[in-house]
Amino acid sequence: MEIAPGAFHFRHYLSLDRQRAIVEQCRALVDGAVPAYVPVVRGGGKMHVRMLCLGRHWNGQTYSYEPTRTDFDDLPVPPLPVNLKALAAEIAAAAGMTIDADLCILNHYDADGRMGLHQDKDEGERSIAAGIPVVSVSVGDTARFLFGGLKRKEPVDAIPLQSGDAFVFGGPARLRYHGVSRIVAGTAPKELDFAGRFNLTFRQYDVPLG
Ligand SMILES: O=C(O)CCC(=O)C(=O)O
């Protein structure tokens, strides 16, 4: 369903089996050799998620991408798994868009998790100018997702993102403000055997010239 020009909410996009597989994969990733961590952003504030970047690392001090986690432990960023990259392309296509994702930010929210209103604007200039979408996939507990306009002070809609939902914002919606005001604990499907929420946002940093 297109909720604004360039912004699509696909409810229950993923079957329970696909959700289960993603939960397992995310669990292994966030507790893997290069684990998720709580970023401290410019100004010293701690984020309210555990974050793991795949493909490129987003540095919360410089608000830029890099190959190693120089704001945390200097470890190299893990690669973006090919099945997840393919999932992003599949979902973008359902919205009539294309993405050749080269990075994903995987966030793990517990019951107190949240994320302030922000724009995703640290990807490459050409990617943003081309309106290549951000593709978001959620599994686990429901989030109260906030989706606003191109200016911070514009009104925001509160959209429940449930387990298995996908959300795509590209084209004219690419720089819309968004965030997560709260997690609704205990709402994850019991078949997932998972408390909390994983959200994956796929992005394409680079656009080849020509
Ligand atoms: O968790 C979400 O649904 C949003 C995540 C987000 O805004 C981000 O990673 O930039």
pLDDT tens across 16-62, in order? 999 999 999 999 999 999 999 999 999 999 999 999 999 999 999 99
In whole angstroms, how far apart are CA 137 and each of 38, 92, 97, 107, 185?
Answer: 20, 11, 16, 11, 18
pLDDT confidence of residue 81: 98
What percentage of the chain reaches a pLDDT higher than 70?
100
For ligand 1, mutation pick of 54, 107, 114, 203 (most atoms within 8 Å of CB): 107
- Rounded CA-CA distance 76/34 in Å is 8
Amino acid sitting at position 46: K
Is the CB–ligand 1 distance for residue 141 below 6 Å?
no
- Ligand 1 nearest-atom number relative to CA 178: 7
Amino acid sitting at position 207: V
What is the Rg, in whole angstroms, of the alpha carbon atoms belonging to the chain?
Answer: 16
Q: Is pLDDT of 209 > 90?
A: no
Is the CB–ligand 1 distance for residue 49 below 6 Å?
no
Identify each DSSP E strand in the chain by its residue range: 2-4, 7-10, 50-54, 57-59, 64-66, 103-109, 115-118, 134-140, 142-147, 157-161, 166-169, 178-184, 197-203
Site of tokens 């403000």:
177
- Ligand 1 nearest-atom number relative to CA 49: 1
SS3 3: strand
pLDDT confidence band for 208 (50 / 70 / 90): confident
Q: How many helices and strands, by DSSP H and E, does the chain display?
A: 3, 13
For ligand 1, mutation pick of 199, 203, 205 (most atoms within 8 Å of CB): 199
Q: Is pLDDT of 210 > 90?
A: no
Q: How far is the CA of 176 from the centre of ligand 1 (A)?
A: 12
CB 195 within 8 A of CB 139: no
Average per-residue pLDDT for the chain? 97
Is the CB–ligand 1 distance for residue 127 below 6 Å?
no
